[in-house]
């Protein structure tokens, strides 16, 4: 298989720096009844149609949530989750969330730091001494992608069926460039997920369920290999002369992305998580700020988020070899007075960041 590295992060940084300094729709547009959502909801009658106009004549299929004043204001549906089963995209449909999972991994690490199980200066060698140069790599550097580690996003030869297998795959394939400049690589967060496993004595998903999912009553979040039968699972599509041409996500790749792209969840569960992360339910305000603070004036990534000049936090997720289907996007200010969350299962020819910025502009 050819190798692809995550080059898109440079464009993300550029977009963040710049921004922070109806008719013709072939797909179905519907509004989710707000009473079905977990947590507080703020009603908005004009925002939904405005978002529909912004989606316009794109080939976007998926879900969009807008946040105002710390509450879900609008949920919009576009197109189908599964054309074979004629299942529409819905608030409970499960999407692979790609790099948005990194924010959840970072949260678990911050909770363990709060409990005194490690700190931001703890060395990787305490947990994974076999990783090249691990004695010179800190937890903070893993969280900020400044560890010097590098690993291509390539699928293993066979599906990895345990946390240990995914971690071992990373440990045996990661290299150390010794360059401490920002360099985005999934390996950093696979190793962080492995640290969660070691400290808690649980699998990553078990720890996530106990510490995040159950307390927040998030009932539509699952490890990719343990999705309950009967769940509505979004399939990946692309536009090639017509909509809904399959772009099938490789399960072998997903199985290797522990803590960084192996979770399927609903958009409403993700909204619940992102709101809880910054409002004190998962971390105290000082802990949240410490996790997501800009590491330096010339660096813009911390704890799973790109951080804008105005401290807006941004996540862009995708799978490198599948660029036309699944994408995830989140942006919000530090207090969630305005925010947008996007899950796509068809995204051919569109820039999900641009769409997110346009929606932020009307909040």
Please list, residue by residue across 67-78, b when 16 or more beta carbons sit within 10 angstroms of its beta carbon and e when fewer do. bbebbbbbbbbb
The pLDDT score that the predictor gives to residue 15 is 53
The pLDDT score that the predictor gives to residue 6 is 56
In sequence order, what are the residues at sequence separation of 6 or more whose Cβ sits closer than 8 angstroms to the Cβ of residue 351? none
- CB-based burial label for 33 (10 Å; 0-12, 13-18, 19+): exposed
The CATH code of domain 8-27+38-335+349-358 reads 3.40.710.10
**Count of residues for the chain?**
363
Residue whose C-alpha is closest to residue 237's, from 316, 347, 319, 85: 347
Measured distance CA(361)–CA(344) in Å, rounded? 20
Query: 199 by DSSP, 3-state: which?
Result: helix
Cβ count within 10 A of residue 26: 11
The pLDDT score that the predictor gives to residue 40 is 46
The pLDDT score that the predictor gives to residue 310 is 83
* Cα within 13 Å of Cα(348), Cβ side: 13
The pLDDT score that the predictor gives to residue 189 is 99
The pLDDT score that the predictor gives to residue 278 is 86
How is residue 328 written in tokens?
């995830």
The pLDDT score that the predictor gives to residue 343 is 99
The pLDDT score that the predictor gives to residue 44 is 56
How is residue 227 written in tokens?
């999705």
Domain ranges of the chain: 8-27+38-335+349-358
What is the full DSSP assignment across 127-169? T-TTSTTGGG-BHHHHHHT-S-EE------SS---SHHHHHHH
Angle in degrees, 0-180, between the axes of helices 47-55 and 352-361, rounded to the nearest 10: 150
**Could you list the pLDDT tens digit for every one of the 363 residues in the chain?**
334 445 545 555 555 544 333 222 323 344 444 333 444 444 456 899 999 999 987 999 999 999 999 999 999 999 999 999 999 999 999 999 999 999 999 999 999 999 999 999 999 999 999 999 999 999 999 999 999 999 999 999 999 999 999 999 999 999 999 999 999 999 999 999 999 999 999 999 999 999 999 999 999 999 999 999 999 999 999 999 999 999 999 999 999 999 999 999 999 999 999 999 989 999 999 999 999 988 887 789 999 999 987 889 999 999 999 999 999 999 999 889 999 999 999 999 889 999 999 999 999
């Amino acid at each position: 298989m050819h190798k692809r590295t995550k080059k898109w992060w440079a464009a993300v940084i550029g977009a963040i720096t710049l921004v922070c300094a109806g008719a013709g729709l072939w797909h179905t547009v519907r509004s989710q009844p707000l009473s079905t959502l977990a947590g507080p909801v703020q009603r908005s009658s004009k925002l939904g149609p405005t978002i529909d106009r912004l989606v316009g004549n794109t080939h976007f299929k998926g879900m969009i949530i807008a946040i105002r004043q710390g509450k879900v204001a609008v949920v919009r549906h576009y197109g189908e989750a599964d054309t074979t089963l004629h299942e529409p995209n819905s608030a409970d449909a499960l999407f692979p969330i790609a790099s948005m999972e990194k924010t959840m991994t970072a949260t678990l690490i911050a909770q363990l730091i709060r409990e005194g199980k490690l700190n931001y200066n703890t060395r990787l060698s305490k947990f994974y001494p076999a990783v090249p140069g691990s004695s010179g790599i800190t937890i903070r550097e893993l969280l900020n992608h400044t560890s010097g580690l590098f690993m291509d996003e390539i699928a293993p030869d066979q599906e990895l069926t345990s946390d240990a297998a995914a971690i071992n795959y990373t440990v045996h394939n990661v290299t150390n460039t010794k360059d401490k400049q920002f360099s985005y690589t999934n390996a950093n967060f696979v190793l962080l997920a492995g640290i969660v496993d070691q400290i808690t004595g649980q699998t990553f998903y078990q720890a996530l369920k106990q510490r995040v999912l159950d307390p927040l009553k998030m009932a539509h979040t699952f490890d990719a290999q343990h999705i309950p039968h009967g769940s509505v699972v979004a399939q990946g599509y692309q536009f090639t002369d017509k909509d809904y041409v399959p772009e099938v996500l490789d399960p072998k790749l997903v199985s290797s992305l522990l803590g960084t792209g192996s979770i399927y969840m609903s958009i409403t569960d993700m909204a619940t998580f992102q709101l809880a992360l910054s409002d004190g339910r998962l971390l105290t305000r000082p802990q949240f700020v410490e996790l997501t603070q800009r590491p330096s004036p010339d660096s813009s990534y911390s704890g799973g988020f790109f951080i804008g000049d105005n401290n807006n936090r941004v996540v862009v997720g995708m799978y490198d070899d599948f660029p036309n289907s699944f994408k995830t996007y989140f942006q919000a200010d530090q207090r969630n007075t305005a925010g947008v969350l996007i899950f796509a299962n068809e995204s051919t020819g569109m820039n999900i960041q641009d769409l997110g910025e346009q929606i932020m502009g009307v909040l």
